[in-house]
Amino acid sequence: MTEASVATGAYPDVSFETGPLINRRIILAYFLMAVVFFTASMLGGLLMAMQLAGWNPLDGLQAFSQGRWRMIHTNAIAYGFIANVFLGALHWAIPRLTMNKVLSVKLSWFIFGAWQFVVLATAVGILIGEAQGIEWGETPVWIDPLAQVGLLLVAINFGAPILKMKGPLYVTLWYFLAAFVWTFLTYAMGNFMPEYLVAGSSGGAIAGLFIHDLVGLFVTPLGWGLMYYFVPIMLKKPIWSHGLSLVGFWGLAFFYPLNGIHHFLYTPIPMFLQYGAVIATIAVELVVTTVVINFFGTIWGSGGILKRHLPLRWFYVGMVFYFITCAQCALQVTMTFQKFIHFTDWVVGHAHLVMFGVFGFWLFGIMTYLFPRLLGREWASRKLCEAHFWLSAGGMFVMFLDLTFAGLFQGWSWNGLQPWLESVRLSQPFWQVRLFTGLFIIAGFVCFAVNLVKTWSLARGSAPESEASPVPA
């Protein structure tokens, strides 16, 4: 085993042969676009962080308006990065799990093109000031119908190979199947109902459902589905407990959709519904604990592998962060905590830990694992792989602590009726630290990007036949 090959956990007995089921090019295309949109998202985040720290040289320029770039930051992550890596990874996992190809490779390419158009049009729409007033759904109203059709085609293209299977399904496929239904319904509910049908508080209840379902019914099930697929393969061990897998899936399916209103506690939405959302949220945290226990039960006894196996390290550190955010969520969702921490940076820290610390980590782990298999050669530099991980993990964890504390100070300042600007002034040290933690994350990503360019050019140089090989249908 060479030093380089352990970087991705490629064991000597695992060849890079991807077999006729997999279309490598489409996975590479999705991953590349994910890298492009991650870059755009980081620029938006950097702009916002500089603005808050009072060091934004572009302040006052319309094209760099940080109000608009803030929306690009979140939308590029959700639809440009996370969705693209998911779609790429699904093209890997579903054919291998079901032993069936996706319904149609042509359809796959059409979806690929349509989805990039949706994300680009969203970015352009936001930049020209046409955003829709729905958090995480700022996609302009004229793009929503196309995105909706795209999601339907995704469900058909990936649903077909799963539905062709006989007998009970593996855990991963439970999550995938449900996620295809949920994502389609969630997008339709959130982007159309509060815009056209329901005003005011009941529209707010739906917007809350949308914010939450997007994380809980699109990102979470696809993320856990991929963990249930990749972790046992990498560890060469079955999942610890099938019973806990069942509890985890059905608990999530039942309780997660009931959480939405917890984003708008103390609003004019009926109070008993707010209490219901709080209780359902605490129930979700119990379910989450069973899933995390299941995965730690799986790695129990072979934890030493995390020292050298980078994808697994991304996954398990992500799971630790997942447990932290969920434990935090069970506290912050209570009315007592809400009084102080709602509207503050505490929530921003929570959101970053979920979207980057958990799902971002899992997806970078998956890309670290798959790029060598797609390109037919190991990563050019293990050091850069390590730097990517450590800069991301360090930056993320410090950012989380920093924003959590900032939130507490802001909440106390507001509650104490200090003049508003006092809460802005006391946030400054926290916002400055946050800017630097963000720069660490960006530096980690630069390491990844440089490593990818090097690896790709080496792969082109050494194995031109892999480029020319016929694309398996």
User: Which residues inside 43-72 make contact with another protein, applying CB under 8 A?
Assistant: 51-54, 56, 59-60, 62, 65-68, 70-71
Asked whether position 160 contacts another protein by CB under 8 A, the answer is no
Q: Which is nearer to another protein, 196 or 471 (CB)?
A: 196
Output the smallest distance, CB 130 to another protein, in A.
Answer: 6
**Of the residues 16, 32, 96, 135, which one makes contact with another protein according to CB under 8 A:** 135
Q: Which is nearer to another protein, 339 or 460 (CB)?
A: 339
Asked whether position 348 contacts another protein by CB under 8 A, the answer is yes
Output the smallest distance, CB 416 to another protein, in A.
Answer: 7
DSSP type of residue 357: I
Asked whether position 214 contacts another protein by CB under 8 A, the answer is no
3-state secondary structure of 419: coil
Output the smallest distance, CB 14 to another protein, in A.
Answer: 29
Sign of the four-CA dihedral 357, 365, 309, 303: positive
Asked whether position 28 contacts another protein by CB under 8 A, the answer is no
Single-letter amino acid code for the residue at 203: G
Q: How far apart are CA 281 and CA 262, in angstroms?
A: 8
Asked whether position 75 contacts another protein by CB under 8 A, the answer is no
Q: How far apart are CA 360 and CA 388, in angstroms?
A: 12
Output the smallest distance, CB 465 to another protein, in A.
Answer: 40
Asked whether position 420 contacts another protein by CB under 8 A, the answer is yes
Asked whether position 201 contacts another protein by CB under 8 A, the answer is yes
Q: Which is nearer to another protein, 7 or 147 (CB)?
A: 147
Asked whether position 308 contacts another protein by CB under 8 A, the answer is no
Asked whether position 403 contacts another protein by CB under 8 A, the answer is no
The residues in 321-340 that bind another protein, with binding defined as CB under 8 A, are 338-340
DSSP type of residue 268: S
Q: How far apart are CA 129 and CA 88, in angstroms?
A: 31
Sign of the four-CA dihedral 398, 346, 37, 209: positive
Q: Which is nearer to another protein, 272 or 461 (CB)?
A: 272
Asked if residue 243 lies in contact with residue 169, where contact means CB atoms within 8 angstroms, the answer is: no
Output the six-digit token pair for 21.
């089921």
Stretch that binds another protein, among 17-25, 83-91, 356-364, 414-422 (CB under 8 A): 414-422
Q: How far apart are CA 174 and CA 245, in angstroms?
A: 10
Size of the site for another protein (CB under 8 A): 91
- 10 Å CB burial of residue 165 (0-12, 13-18, 19+) is middle
Q: Which is nearer to another protein, 67 or 113 (CB)?
A: 67
Angle at 385 between CA 69 and CA 397, to 5 degrees: 55
Asked whether position 415 contacts another protein by CB under 8 A, the answer is yes
Stretch that binds another protein, among 3-11, 80-88, 90-98, 179-187 (CB under 8 A): 179-187
Closest of 255, 261, 297 to residue 277, by C-alpha = 261
The residues in 255-284 that bind another protein, with binding defined as CB under 8 A, are 257-258, 260-261, 263-264, 266-270, 273, 276-277
Asked if residue 269 lies in contact with residue 302, where contact means CB atoms within 8 angstroms, the answer is: no
The residues in 226-255 that bind another protein, with binding defined as CB under 8 A, are 246, 249-250, 253-254
**DSSP sequence for 131-166:** --SSTT--S-TTTHHHHHHHHHHHHHHHHHHHHT--
Asked whether position 32 contacts another protein by CB under 8 A, the answer is no
Q: How far apart are CA 27 and CA 287, in angstroms?
A: 32
